[in-house]
Amino acid sequence: MVDINGLHKSFGNKVVLDGISLNVEEAENMIVFGRSGTGKSVLLKCVIRLLEPDAGSVKIQSKDVLSLNPKELNSLRKEIGFLFQGAALYDSMSVRENLEFPLMRNFNLDKKEIDERIHFVLEAVSLLEAVDKMPAELSGGMKKRIGLARSIITKPKLMFYDEPTTGLDPITAKEISVLILELQKALKMTSIVVTHDLLCAKIIADRAIVIDEGKIVKEGSISDLVNSNEPLLKNFFSDEIIENNGSMI
């Protein structure tokens, strides 16, 4: 479904992605772990060409993303959903207008079909009552849910989640993670999830990678990563702080 090969991206002298290669199968949930500033979000943005990579190749459904013209790229993006870290709801539009926005511009649907889809996604995220609210009236968790609803309203085949549970309390974070898994199963989507949240990863993941200094340093199941003895992974997943030589602080 997604085939990334030798992806490089730098900002000035700072190398953010240093030859990332990754393959995500259809209907698979891939988790991307890594410390802050290691290029996880940049990876997602390069895959969907919100940022232009310096080198490498990205294929989605066998289409070479980096060689698509703007029209072809737009057409591909219609099949992709993206949940941003801050939900990125259009704050001048109501929840209904936010949800209608991609449908009215990209799909030839009548009013009844649009209303049905809005009802379906709002029911899925348990926020039917928020349909006429403005984003400023919503809590952080509600914004994330509406952001998720907007991402899936086009019934995408591929979903990108950029830190879907960051800034949420543990209960809401767990609810969002379960919701992501349920929606993924219901809509048979392929997902790439960037997160720091181990619980979220445990709920969602089929497979996971860890990025450090622009490279993939570990790939495997969540239990492989959690049980690894490598200092970086131990630091990441355990309560203890381990030095590079393996000794515990």
- Give the binding range for other proteins (CB under 8 A) out of 99-107, 123-131, 206-214, 230-238: 99-107
* Structure token digits, residue 233: 């992974």
Residues 47-66 contacting other proteins, CB under 8 A: 48, 50
Whether the CB-CB separation of 56 and 64 falls below 8 Å is answered with no
Running DSSP on this structure, what letter comes out for residue 165? T
Residues 118-147 as b or e (16 or more Cβ within 10 Å = b): beebbebbebeebeeeebeebeebbbbbbb
User: 123 with 115: CB under 8 angstroms?
Assistant: no
91 binds other proteins (CB under 8 A): yes
- Helices 170-187 and 140-152 sit at what angle, rounded to 10 degrees? 10
Per CB under 8 A, does 221 bind other proteins? no
Stretch that binds other proteins, among 31-39, 75-83, 117-125, 179-187 (CB under 8 A): 75-83
Q: How many Å apart are CA 96 and CA 163, to the nearest integer?
A: 24
Q: Does 25 bind other proteins (CB under 8 A)?
A: no
* Smallest distance from other proteins to CB 236, Å: 26
The reply on whether position 134 binds other proteins by CB under 8 A is no
The contact pattern for other proteins, residues 153-172, with x = CB under 8 A and - = no contact, is -x------------------
Beta carbon of residue 152, minimum distance to other proteins (angstroms, whole number): 12
CB crowding 177-203: b at 16 or more within 10 Å, else e: bebbbebbeeeebbbbbbbebbebbeb
Q: Which stretch binds other proteins (CB under 8 A): 8-16, 29-37, 72-80, 178-186?
A: 72-80
Q: Which is nearer to other proteins, 62 or 92 (CB)?
A: 92
Instruction: Work out which of 21, 23, 67, 106 binds other proteins, going by CB under 8 A.
Output: 106
Partners of 55 in beta bridges: 8
In the complex, the smallest distance separating the C-beta of residue 103 from other proteins, rounded to whole angstroms, is: 9
b/e per residue, 63-88, with b = 16+ CB within 10 A?
eebbebeeeeeeebbeebbbbbeebb
The binder of other proteins chosen from 10, 61, 85, 166 (CB under 8 A): 85
Is residue 86 near other proteins by the rule CB under 8 A? Answer: yes
19 binding other proteins? (CB under 8 A): no
Q: Which of 147, 169, 50 is nearest to 91 (CA)?
A: 147
Residues in the chain: 249
Residues that bind other proteins (CB under 8 A): 45, 48, 50, 70, 74-75, 77-78, 80, 82, 84-86, 88-92, 101-102, 105-106, 150, 154
